Amino acid sequence: MPRAVYVLALGIFAMVTSEFVVAGLMPQMAGGLGVTVPQIGYLITAFAMAMAFGGPFLTVAVLRLRPKPALMALFLIFLVGNVLAATATGYALMLVARVVTGVASQAFFGVAISLCAQLTRPEVRGRAMAVVLNGLMLGTLLGLPLSTLIGAAFGWRAAFWAIAALTVVAALCTAAGVPAVGHADGGGSLREEMQVFRNRRLWLALTTSTFIIGATFCAFSYFNPILTEVTGFGTGAVPVLLIAYGAATVAGNHVVGRLADRYAVPVLLCGLLLNALFLTGFALLAHLKAPAVVCMMGIGLVGVTMNPAMATRVQRAANARPLVNTVHASFITFGVVIGSWAGGVAIGAFGLRAPLWLGAVLAAAGALTLVPDLARRTRRAPADVTIRARNRPRSHV
């Protein structure tokens, strides 16, 4: 595995840590900026919306840059956003800072995944993307609790300064450890990048990714109240359970990365069906501690861990260039927004178990979007057998 793959993972780790930092510092930030906790919550929404809608436009803006200079430019924009957040004297400036970092984060994701595909051989590309996406998993597992601890010990501004320092470290590592390469075949031209979006298979793959992440975040967004109010865990146990969940995502990401190159669609189908099963089990058994924890770990193993297979399928349906990967990341972000929003609506209407049931429905819907690809594979298999039979050398007696 090229060293540059691990360096790209460090950059994504910095981006994801910044994405989640507000969630752990809500009371402190509300007091420091003189606003309410719900207003601080809107900063999370602003970051997500900036990622989903602004990321592709920033990617278009850096298309003519070669991958490494594009990454360095995005690091600079991201650094500026975090410095603005650390020095913000009012809510409006903090909102601007979160939008800037959200846009830069999404564009970085797309360029980094594209460069990862460019630097690795096709037969190990899924594994390489799993390594890069471990930055995402570790950002959830380590980034959020570490930034929360820094904020609690030294003030919420210190958490943003720490992320700014991490950004500088990641940028220096990228400057030293990522090779300077040209554009991928056909890359660098907006017209070439846009033509691929006429492909119906690409839109189907993007829709599947939205369902996968939406199903997972229906549950993940509300683990805390479910575990405390339905399952009966104390508030002190929840951070430990969430760390265990994060560890499950790291393990699942590793396994999916090993399988994604050869079995992308079967892995996605298996993951969606298992996720539906675990979500249903959690909904039915949420009042029992042991089964609830098992189902929660299961969701961690087969939820967001589908990312390497999702990325592989999207790239095979279209290409591995930056704009496709950034748009794919936007559809993933839509899944986060839809899952968390719909889960909240479901709780208001039907109670705390409702988002688990809704997640199971979304996972089943995601499995249905794989049917055309599965049917295509089934039709292709007999043809491949026939071709091999015709090409087999005949023995002469």
Rounded to an integer, what distance in angstroms lies between the CA atom of residue 92 and that of residue 88?
A: 8
Please say which residue of 182, 214, 232 terminates a domain: 182
Q: Is residue 245 part of a domain?
A: yes
* Residue 125 sits in the same domain as residue 210: no
* Residue 143 sits in the same domain as residue 261: no
* pLDDT tens, position by position, 23-75: 778 788 888 999 887 788 788 878 888 988 899 999 888 888 888 999 999 99
pLDDT of residue 385: 44
pTM, two decimals, is 0.83
Residue 225: Cβ within 10 Å count = 13
* Residue 214 sits in the same domain as residue 325: yes
pLDDT bin (cut points 50, 70, 90) of residue 382 is low
Please say which residue of 119, 151, 182 terminates a domain: 182
* pLDDT tens, position by position, 69-112: 999 999 999 999 999 999 999 999 999 999 999 999 999 998 99
The arithmetic mean of pLDDT across residues 6-23, rounded, is 88
- If one compares 268 and 388, the residue with the highest pLDDT of the two is 268
Q: Is residue 397 part of a domain?
A: no
* Residue 204 sits in the same domain as residue 156: no
Give the range of the structural domain holding residue 358, as residue numbers without chain letter: 188-392
CATH number, position 220: 1.20.1250.20
364 DSSP assignment: H
In sequence order, the 6+-apart residues with CB closer than 8 A to the CB of 30 are 36, 37, 39, 40
In sequence order, the 6+-apart residues with CB closer than 8 A to the CB of 175 are 72
pLDDT at 391 over 60: no
- If one compares 189 and 17, the residue with the highest pLDDT of the two is 17
Q: Is residue 300 part of a domain?
A: yes
Rounded to an integer, what distance in angstroms lies between the CA atom of residue 207 and that of residue 241?
A: 30
Highest mean pLDDT among 17-26, 83-92, 216-225, 324-333: 83-92
Residue 179: Cβ within 10 Å count = 12
Orientation angle between helical segments 3-20 and 91-119, nearest 10 degrees: 160
* Residue 361 sits in the same domain as residue 286: yes
Q: Which residue has the tokens 């997500």?
A: 48
Rounded to an integer, what distance in angstroms lies between the CA atom of residue 136 and that of residue 307?
A: 10
What is the number of domains present in the chain?
2
* Residue 91 sits in the same domain as residue 175: yes
The arithmetic mean of pLDDT across residues 149-162, rounded, is 90
* Residue 19 sits in the same domain as residue 92: yes
pLDDT of residue 272: 97
Distance of CA 231 to the CA centre of its chain: 28
Quick check: 37 and 27 in contact, CB under 8 A?
Answer: yes
